[in-house]
């Protein structure tokens, strides 16, 4: 019965696009989380909402308008932070609210919310058509190629910007390129979880993977695995429970995160107890000869 | 005659309207170990950041390996740098091996080189440990390995022993001595530890916005008058007193009768 759902075309498209999005979101998300830009995804998706509204208003494929608006906003936010030195969270707040405001104004001008807009707000992975799948594949391909080219340098820049600059890396260009790639990723992911839940897709798998306490490559792989697993489980649950897939995916990620946290807590507690017992035994046995 | 590695001429730089360093000139030759001393806020880090090309809007000129740093940023690939403040996020998920390999980015990468740099600083058993699980001294050795992995001709260290324990500090200094004496690396070290500077360096520069002394380390420490005037001028009496106190107490320990 479970395998039967794989025979449906809409489910195949949903799973393929979901897995692709899961991979790029977890890779980009790891850098965003480590750069302490976790809310960047939220800001970009709210700006994208304005871009979607522009597309719907102008009768253009809304993802393209959202893409242009988000990339420009992402670069603008980075420049704003660079020039004015305002804190990262304040820049995000400015972008988030102004992007949403643009969207609301345009929507009210075009006569209010419609079904299309709701699907962008809450995600509609099961409604992904061939055009969407092609767009997601092309955009994700570009994201993966770019990331594979700058992966090592970006890791070093994220680790320590000043040392990376001393090492001869063009930190500014790498940061700008990353912002473009991150903006594109957010737009490509809107179909899966929608504007309102996008940051969870970026943040949750990565903070779960970081809690495992591994090195960089292993953390990235674990995050990818959690992300892909959550998308598959979430979509399948949503089909059988007849619930929204976006919510099911994010809740699956949240569950995995909570399980990982509890596991880490128990392991740490176990270690503490073990070392306590060992030190008590050492005291009882006296100094070793 | 040894090659010129660093040449700084009439260097001035300011953040905003006031100058952080003013009209500083000195040079470092191949194989030198230059110790830079000066109080907090004296401009030592600013001086390093200018030499390393992080700050570019300065007056004067800086030549690295005989070439102007502004015209050839590629020269920085020949420099290893250990910053003053560990800006490194301890929770950053990198292992010792991954952190050290950052030093090879943009260069020919080889895992053997990374492993031998880790061995050089005595951390081979910890190569797969996350840097967040290391002690301050071990982390400092990771930074040395990272700075050394590209086999740089010049090593710049900005107060590298801040916040590490005495035992780790001793190990750290012995690595620096070995690098300078046996492997002939040119080193610039800024520190408040005058005893270390005295033991390790062959040249010394006394900086407090301006350069108050630059020359032979023994000439500086052996000539109390010279040392005094440089220190007084550069408002470093506090450091001088603590140094003399330490010397007196060690003299007293060595010879309790004062003979």
| CB within 8 Å: A159 and B130 | no
| pLDDT band, very low/low/confident/very high, at A114 (cuts 50, 70, 90) | low
d(CA B79, CA B74): 10
Residue B244 clears pLDDT 80, i.e. is over it: no
Residue B164 clears pLDDT 80, i.e. is over it: no
Residue B230 clears pLDDT 80, i.e. is over it: no
Contact B200, B189 (CB under 8 A): yes
| Segment A131-177, tens digit of pLDDT | 888 888 998 999 999 999 999 999 999 998 888 888 888 898 999 99
d(CA B209, CA B41): 8
| CB within 8 Å: A167 and B76 | yes
Contact B13, B57 (CB under 8 A): yes
ipTM for the predicted complex comes to: 0.75
d(CA A152, CA A134): 28
How close B128 gets to chain A, by Cα (Å)?
Answer: 8
| pLDDT band, very low/low/confident/very high, at B135 (cuts 50, 70, 90) | confident
Q: Of A135-139, B12-16, B143-147, B219-223, give the lowest mean pLDDT range.
A: B219-223
Q: Of A191-205, A243-257, B177-191, give the lowest mean pLDDT range.
A: A191-205
Nearest residue of B to residue A172 by CA position?
A: B54
Dihedral sign, CA of B57, B58, B64, B70?
Answer: positive
| Segment A79-100, tens digit of pLDDT | 887 787 777 778 888 888 888 8
- Per DSSP, the three-state class of B30 is coil
Q: Residue A128 is encoded by which pair of tokens?
A: 């992904």
Instruction: Note whether A214 contacts B: Cβ–Cβ < 8 A.
Output: yes
pLDDT of residue B259: 32
Highest mean pLDDT among A190-199, A235-244, B73-82, B224-233: A235-244
Per this entry, what is the length of chain B? 259
Residue B188 clears pLDDT 90, i.e. is over it: yes
Choose from B102, B109, B143, B160 for mutation: most chain A CBs within 10 A.
B102
Using a CB-CB cut-off of 8 Å, the residues of chain B touching A219 are 93
What does the mean pLDDT of chain B come to?
A: 82
How distant, in Å, are the alpha carbons of A198, A261, B51, B96 from that of A267?
31, 10, 47, 23
d(CA B90, CA B87): 9
A9 or A109, greater pLDDT: A9
Contact B15, B184 (CB under 8 A): no
d(CA B139, CA B123): 10
d(CA B138, CA B145): 11
B60 or A281, greater pLDDT: B60
- Number of separate helices (H) and strands (E) present in chain A: 11, 0
Residue B239, Cβ density class (10 Å: 0-12 exposed, 13-18 middle, ≥19 buried): middle
| CB within 8 Å: B130 and A215 | yes
Residue B257 clears pLDDT 60, i.e. is over it: no
Nearest residue of B to residue A34 by CA position?
A: B92
Mean pLDDT of B219-247: 63
d(CA A247, CA A139): 24
How distant, in Å, are the alpha carbons of A115, B117, B135, B136, B138 from that of B163?
60, 23, 10, 7, 12
| CB within 8 Å: A169 and B106 | yes
Percent with pLDDT over 90 in chain A: 34
- Per DSSP, the three-state class of B206 is strand
Residue B241, Cβ density class (10 Å: 0-12 exposed, 13-18 middle, ≥19 buried): exposed
Contact B86, B137 (CB under 8 A): no
Minimal Cβ distance to A215: which of B52, B83, B94: B94
User: Chains A, B: CB contacts under 8 A, how many?
Assistant: 71
Percent with pLDDT over 70 in chain B: 81
pLDDT of residue B258: 37
pLDDT of residue B163: 67
Contact B138, B123 (CB under 8 A): yes
Residue B249 clears pLDDT 70, i.e. is over it: no
| pLDDT band, very low/low/confident/very high, at B221 (cuts 50, 70, 90) | confident
Interface of B with A (CB under 8 A): 52-54, 73-74, 76-77, 79, 81, 83, 87-89, 91-95, 97-99, 102-103, 105-106, 128, 130, 132
| pLDDT band, very low/low/confident/very high, at B254 (cuts 50, 70, 90) | very low
Residue B255 clears pLDDT 60, i.e. is over it: no
What does the mean pLDDT of chain A come to?
A: 86
| CB within 8 Å: A152 and B105 | yes
pLDDT of residue A115: 58
pLDDT of residue B256: 39
Q: Residue A252 is encoded by which pair of tokens?
A: 């699956």
Mean pLDDT of B142-170: 84
How close B163 gets to chain A, by Cα (Å)?
Answer: 19
| CB within 8 Å: B130 and A219 | no
B2 or B191, greater pLDDT: B191
B143: left (phi over 0), alpha (psi -120 to 50) or beta: alpha
Dihedral sign, CA of A27, A29, A30, A31?
Answer: positive
| Segment B84-107, tens digit of pLDDT | 756 566 678 999 999 999 888 876
Using a CB-CB cut-off of 8 Å, the residues of chain A touching B93 are 34, 210, 213-216, 218-219
Q: In this structure, what are the phi and psi dihedrals at residue B81, rounded to the nearest 5 degrees? A: -135, 135
* Chain position carrying tokens 């750069």: A35
pLDDT of residue B70: 82
| Segment A24-80, tens digit of pLDDT | 999 999 999 998 888 888 888 888 888 888 888 888 888 888 889 889 988 888 888
Minimal Cβ distance to B54: which of A165, A210, A215: A165
How close A61 gets to chain B, by Cα (Å)?
Answer: 40
Instruction: Work out the end-to-end distance of chain A between its first and last CA atoms, rounded to an integer number of angstroms.
Output: 67
């Amino acid at each position: 019965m479970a395998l039967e759902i794989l025979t449906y075309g809409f489910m195949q498209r949903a799973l393929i696009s979901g897995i692709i999005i899961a991979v790029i979101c977890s890779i980009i998300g790891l850098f965003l989380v480590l750069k302490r830009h976790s809310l960047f995804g939220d800001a970009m998706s709210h700006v994208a909402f304005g871009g979607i509204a522009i597309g719907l208003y102008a009768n253009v494929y809304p993802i393209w308008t959202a893409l242009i608006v988000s990339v420009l906003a992402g670069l603008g936010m980075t420049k704003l932070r660079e020039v004015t030195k305002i804190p990262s969270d304040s820049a995000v707040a400015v972008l988030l609210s102004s992007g949403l405001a643009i969207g609301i104004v345009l929507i009210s001008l075009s006569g209010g919310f419609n079904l299309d807009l709701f699907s962008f707000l809450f995600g509609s992975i099961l409604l992904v058509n061939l055009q969407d799948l092609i767009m997601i594949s092309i955009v994700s391909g570009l994201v993966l190629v770019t990331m594979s080219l700058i992966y090592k340098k970006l890791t070093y820049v994220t680790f320590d910007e000043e040392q990376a600059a001393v090492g001869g890396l063009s930190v500014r260009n790498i940061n700008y390129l990353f912002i473009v790639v991150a903006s594109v990723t957010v737009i490509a992911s809107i179909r899966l979880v929608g504007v309102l839940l996008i940051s969870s897709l970026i943040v949750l798998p990565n903070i779960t993977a970081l809690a495992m306490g591994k090195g960089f490559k292993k953390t990235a792989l674990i995050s990818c695995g959690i992300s892909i697993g959550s998308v598959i489980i979430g979509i399948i649950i949503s089909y059988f429970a007849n619930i929204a897939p976006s919510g099911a995916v994010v809740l699956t990620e949240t569950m995995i995160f909570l399980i990982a946290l509890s596991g880490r807590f128990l392991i740490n507690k176990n270690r503490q107890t073990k070392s306590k017992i060992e030190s008590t035994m050492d005291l009882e046995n006296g100094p070793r000869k | 005659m040894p090659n010129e590695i660093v040449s700084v001429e009439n260097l001035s730089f300011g953040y905003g309207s006031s100058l952080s360093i003013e009209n500083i000139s000195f040079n470092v030759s191949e194989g030198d170990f230059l110790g830079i001393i000066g109080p907090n806020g004296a401009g030592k880090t600013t001086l390093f950041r200018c030499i390393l090309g992080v700050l570019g809007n300065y007056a004067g000129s800086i030549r690295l390996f005989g070439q102007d740093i502004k015209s050839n940023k590629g020269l920085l690939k020949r420099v290893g740098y250990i910053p003053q403040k560990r800006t490194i996020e301890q929770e950053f998920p990198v292992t010792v091996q991954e952190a050290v390999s950052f030093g090879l980015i943009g260069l020919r990468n080889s895992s053997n080189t990374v492993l031998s740099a880790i061995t050089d600083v005595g951390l081979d058993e910890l190569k797969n440990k996350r840097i967040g699980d290391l002690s301050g001294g071990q982390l400092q050795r990771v930074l040395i390995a990272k700075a050394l992995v590209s086999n740089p001709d010049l090593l710049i260290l900005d107060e590298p022993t801040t916040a590490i324990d005495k035992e780790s500090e001793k190990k750290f200094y012995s690595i620096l001595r070995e690098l300078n004496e046996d492997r002939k690396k040119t080193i610039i070290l800024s520190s408040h530890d005058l005893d270390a500077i005295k033991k390790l360096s062959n040249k010394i520069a006394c900086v407090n916005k301006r350069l108050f002394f630059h020359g032979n380390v023994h000439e500086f420490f052996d000539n109390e008058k010279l040392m005094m005037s440089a220190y007084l001028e550069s408002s470093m009496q506090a450091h001088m007193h603590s140094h003399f106190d330490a010397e007196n107490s060690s003299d007293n320990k060595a010879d309790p009768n004062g003979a």
